[in-house]
Amino acid sequence: MTRSAVPGSVPAAESPAPAGARAESPGSAFDTATGVSRDGDGVWRADLAPDWDLGTGILNGGYLLSVVGRAAVLDSPHEHPVALAAGFLRPARADRATLHVSTAPPGRTTAHATVGLADSTGTLISAQVTTATLTAVEAAGSRPDATPVEKCLPLTEEGARSMPGVPFPGLMRQVETRLDPVTAGWVFGKPADEPVHRAWVRFADGRDPDPLALVLFADVLPPTGFALGRMGWAPTVQIQVLVRDLPAPGWCLVETRGGEVRDGWVDEDCRIWDSTGRLVAQARQLARVARAPQ
């Protein structure tokens, strides 16, 4: 939920470093920020972290959904979130939060839960989560052609300074993002005709991706309205994320495409491929879109 104005990039890109730490790395920023502790039967506590905001103090929806997914997995006999459908009821900020997890009797291969995430202001998210245990599947890569990561545009705080009034999201300090220049004309004041973004992403501290990370990555790119020159806050209203496979270590390629833009609404489709080129996650969301330039 709630994605905001994301800053411009600087054209130079250093060579990427190796992925480093494995997923679920002790002390990794993501695992710490999405950590939950049990506070009773079906009740969990979380401290929503300020470092995953959109530059305005409002927290990123993919981050919040990852907290929901973690609580659902811990209350399930299965290891991974494979399908999440969530409605975002109000913007969230850093705060102590409570998650209520209501589970149905689990099956042999799947389990289902309803999760409500609330803070001191009330309920933030209402979600349905399906969990299962994924195994790595050998499959041919289906990744589309994309500019190599070392030739892409890093989203940096330095680039944000060239765009007065555009806040730099704390999220971008946690997730290293390299925009494909083919879909990044808006950075240089040259909007495209299609609402499409493509970028390479990975955790800045080297943590490798896993299914919970894919939930975050499904909502990590700038709103597709940016590609059309419509800059500004574009809150997600509803999202569905499907995790299809265990991702390999390294960079993930994320592509988002806007559909119908009408009366202040846009639908967006997202696909995520891992470093081997396999499709590992998909998502679809309904969001508000920033007003067209006057």
Higher pLDDT, 169 or 200: 200
User: Are 122 and 90 a contacting pair, CB within 8 Å?
Assistant: yes
**CA dihedral defined by 55, 61, 63, 69, rounded to 10 degrees?**
170
Question: What per-residue confidence (pLDDT) applies to 169?
Answer: 83
Q: What is the pLDDT of residues 72-83, one digit of tens each?
A: 999 999 999 999
What is the average pLDDT value for the chain, to the nearest integer? 86
Least confident range of 72-86, 164-178, 200-214, 256-270? 164-178
Helix/strand/coil for 261: strand
pLDDT confidence band for 19 (50 / 70 / 90): very low
What contacts 225, CB < 8 A, 6 or more positions away?
195, 231, 232, 234, 258, 261, 266, 289, 290
According to DSSP, the residues that pair with 103 across neighbouring strands are 113
User: Are 69 and 129 a contacting pair, CB within 8 Å?
Assistant: yes
Higher pLDDT, 100 or 142: 100
According to DSSP, the residues that pair with 115 across neighbouring strands are 101, 127
Over 80: is that where the pLDDT of 62 sits? yes
Question: What per-residue confidence (pLDDT) applies to 268?
Answer: 95
- The CATH code that applies to domain 29-134+141-288 is 2.40.160.210
Neighbours of 32 (CB within 10 A): 13
Least confident range of 85-99, 213-227, 238-252? 213-227
User: Are 273 and 217 a contacting pair, CB within 8 Å?
Assistant: no
Q: What is the DSSP letter of 159?
A: H
Question: What per-residue confidence (pLDDT) applies to 14?
Answer: 33
The domain segmentation of the chain, as residue ranges, is 29-134+141-288
